[in-house]
Amino acid sequence: MFVGFLLALLGVYSDKDHFAYVGLVIMSSVCFTWWVWVMLVIKNMLVQNLKAQDGLYEVKDELGLIKKMIRALTSRGK
């Protein structure tokens, strides 16, 4: 991106429009690629968070069942 910026500045400074356009295309391509990458990373984080959340609900339900089983076993002995 920095190279594209410098190329665009060189094109503007030296009145060579094709350098400026190539530099702008390089900068915009890098920015767009970074934006897409960030969106994919955020999506991946959200998916992993939802999977972890579902797993925690399952663990909570299983712990509730174990608690009921322990209560049932301890109440028989009294």
Looking at residue 37, its pLDDT comes to 98
Mean pLDDT of the chain: 87
Digit-coded pLDDT (tens) for 61-70: 889 999 999 8
d(Cα 2, Cα 8) in Å, to the nearest integer?
A: 10
User: pLDDT tier at 42 (50, 70, 90 boundaries)?
Assistant: very high
Classify residue 23 as exposed, middle or buried by CB count within 10 Å of its CB (0-12, 13-18, 19+). Answer: buried
Q: What is the mean pLDDT of residues 7-33?
A: 85
Q: Spell out the domain ranges in the chain.
A: 2-76
Looking at residue 78, its pLDDT comes to 59
